[in-house]
Amino acid sequence: MNIVGACAAALLLGACGTVTRGTTADVTFNSAPAGAHVQTSIGLSCPATPCTFPISRKQAFVATFSLPGHEEQQIAVKTDISSGGAAGFAGNIIVGGLVGMAVDASTSAALDHQPNPVFATMVPTVKPKAAPTQRARRGKRPAV
């Protein structure tokens, strides 16, 4: 292979992580019980869990779950380097060189959302019990 062909191949195959993993990842939202509304700090919302959105790999956010009769739950979703992303990024050393590494770093192709899936356990709100009325306290009269 001549030098021009090798350079062209390196440019075409560069940014291994970006090519193999993409710049977005599907993030799934679920709750127990199912059916909670989800609102994210990046403007995405879902009327009822479960649901899934493609979200930029470099975007950290907070997901807020709400369900009538339950306490609101907030879950922070961070980004972290994954084993698959690290392998793709490392592959640039062999194939893509600095150009591929720069592209992967700028697109954050080596990152994954943590946690994914995002799961909220909805806690029922407890209403204070009303004081028993006079009639309820008496109960039934004994039969005569």
pLDDT at 105: 52
Q: Are strands 24-32 and 118-121 parallel, antiparallel or unpaired?
A: parallel
**pLDDT at residue 111 in the model:** 86
Residue 27 has a pLDDT of: 98
Q: Helix, strand or coil for residue 143?
A: coil
Calpha distance 11→17 (Å, rounded)? 14
pLDDT at position 35 is 98
Output the pLDDT for position 140.
60
β-bridge partners, 31: 120
pLDDT at 61: 98
**Distances in whole angstroms, Cα of residue 98 to Cα of each of 14, 15, 47, 94:** 9, 9, 44, 10
pLDDT < 70 positions in the chain: 1-21, 82-108, 128, 130-144
